[in-house]
Each structure stands twice: as structure tokens, then as C-alpha cells.
Amino acid sequence: MAQIYGYIRTSRRLQEGVLGMDPASQELQLQRAGVPFNNIYRDVGVSGTTGTQERRGWHRLNGRLAGGDTLVVVAIDRIGRRWPDTIRSICHLRDRGVKVRSLAEAEAQWTRYLEADEGSSEAFFGQVLTMFAAWVADQELESVKRRTREGLERARQKGKTLGPPRKFRPQQVETMRRMRDSGASLRRIASDFECSPNTVRRTLLRERES
């Protein structure tokens, strides 16, 4: 029996009030669209530049999807912000008979063409527009990165200290570095210092840049 599934992706763990960035907001929209709570899969704190096959939530979802099922997202860019990977993912789903639906008003009008019979002019139209939407999301990401770099450079020129306060003492950071150099995994180091692997990665990165 065909099922309806939902997928949530945010590059930050929580950004309340920002459309597309708040996991709870996305979840509410998906449920209102008829997606059962147990059929919603999440990748929270995962960048759109991370390939779909490298995401745990997407991997679990992909294992559940079957021909005739429908995947619902609040916007196509939730699947990804790098257009080649986004297109490959959508085409792979289509080849398996999985429909893709976007709740974004600007996209809902044309993503229905993705449900058309393969080889039809409507299906071709849907694929072209999907490629364009993915490309736009990619360009928006590059624009954000460029503005961020420009803002950081202006802050440096003004002598401002960038980034969050350091969480660890210099001696602790040195211990982290030595453990990493000796082959310890980020997860092992994080366990010893009671933090997340991402915190360890950021801490060591700041040390190299300082």
C-alpha cells in the first residue's frame, strides 16, 4: 500500500521563526499536509551541501521508500543545496516510482509535473523546472557564503574577535590535538571531554587558524 513520507533538513539545530530553518515548523507543515508523524525523517544540523547519501535521516528514509510512495518536503532545497546532487536524488526517486511533492507555494504549481508519466512532455517540464529550482538554491547558498565572508573580513579589519568564546583551556586543547594526531577519533575525544564531535572539530580548527 502506497505511503506518504516527509523529510526535514536544517543546517542548524534550531532557528525559531525562520521559515525552513526551524525543525518544528517543518514538522507542523508536513503533518498538516497529511504526513504521519512516524513517517517523518529528519537531518537536523546538517548542511544542504552534504550529499544525501551521507545523511543518516535520508539513508533511513531511502530504505523505506517504495514505488507508489510520495515524499513531501517544505521546499526542494531541503533535499539539498547543491543542484547536481539534488537532481540525482530526485531522479533516483522517480526511477523507483516515488513521487516528490513540495509544499512551497512557488514550487507546488510545477512539482506536480514530476508525477506525470515518464517520457511525457509534462514529466520533462517538471524535470527542467526542478533543475532550475535546485540551481537557484545552489546560487543562493553561494551568495550567503560570499556575504558571510565579506562580513567576517570587515569585522577582522575593525579588530573584532570572531566566533564564540573558547570552551576549553589551552591545556585541554593541546591534549585534544595530541590525541587527534595520535589517531584518536573525534567521537573518542568528544567522549573524554564530554562534548560533541562537532565541538572538538571546531575547537581544533580554531587552534590551527589562530
We report the CATH number of the domain holding residue 121 as 3.40.50.1390
For residues 184 and 90, state if they share a domain.
no
pLDDT band, very low/low/confident/very high, at 111 (cuts 50, 70, 90)? low
Residue 92 lies in a domain: yes
Bridge partners (DSSP) listed for residue 70: 4, 99
For residues 117 and 65, state if they share a domain.
yes
For residues 131 and 179, state if they share a domain.
no
Residue 148 lies in a domain: no
For residues 130 and 175, state if they share a domain.
no
Last residue of a domain, one of 138, 153, 183: 138
Alpha-carbon distance of 115 to 123, in angstroms, equals: 7
For residues 110 and 57, state if they share a domain.
yes
pLDDT band, very low/low/confident/very high, at 139 (cuts 50, 70, 90)? low
Contacts for 56 with CB less than 8 Å, ≥ 6 apart: 43
Last residue of a domain, one of 121, 138, 155: 138
Structural domain tally of the chain? 2
Question: Is residue 128 scored above 50 in pLDDT?
Answer: yes
Query: What is the per-residue pLDDT across 148-160, written as a single tens digit (0 to 9) for each?
Result: 666 666 766 766 6
Confidence (pLDDT) at 141: 53
The mean of the pLDDT values for the chain is 77
Average pLDDT over residues 128-132: 57
Confidence (pLDDT) at 19: 46
For residues 183 and 105, state if they share a domain.
no
For residues 186 and 100, state if they share a domain.
no
Residue 198 lies in a domain: yes
Contacts for 129 with CB less than 8 Å, ≥ 6 apart: 110, 111, 113
> From the CA atom positions of the chain, what is the Rg in Å?
20
Confidence (pLDDT) at 17: 45
Residue 143 lies in a domain: no
Residue 161 lies in a domain: no
For residues 184 and 82, state if they share a domain.
no
List the end-to-end C-alpha distance of the chain, in Å, as a whole number: 57
pLDDT band, very low/low/confident/very high, at 109 (cuts 50, 70, 90)? low
For residues 108 and 177, state if they share a domain.
no
Region of residue 18 (phi > 0: left; psi between -120 and 50: alpha; otherwise: beta): beta
Confidence (pLDDT) at 87: 79
Average pLDDT over residues 29-52: 91
Q: Which three cell numbers stand for residue 30?
A: 508536513
pTM (predicted TM-score): 0.57
Are the C-beta atoms of 109 and 77 separated by less than 8 Å? Answer: no
Alpha-carbon distance of 24 to 83, in angstroms, equals: 26
Confidence (pLDDT) at 70: 92
Contacts for 4 with CB less than 8 Å, ≥ 6 apart: 34, 35, 36, 39, 69, 70, 72
Query: What is the per-residue pLDDT across 47-77, written as a single tens digit (0 to 9) for each?
Result: 888 888 899 999 999 999 999 999 999 988 8
Q: What is the domain extent for residue 202?
A: 170-209
Query: What is the per-residue pLDDT across 152-205, written as a single tens digit (0 to 9) for each?
Result: 667 667 666 555 555 688 888 888 888 888 888 888 888 878 788 888 888 888
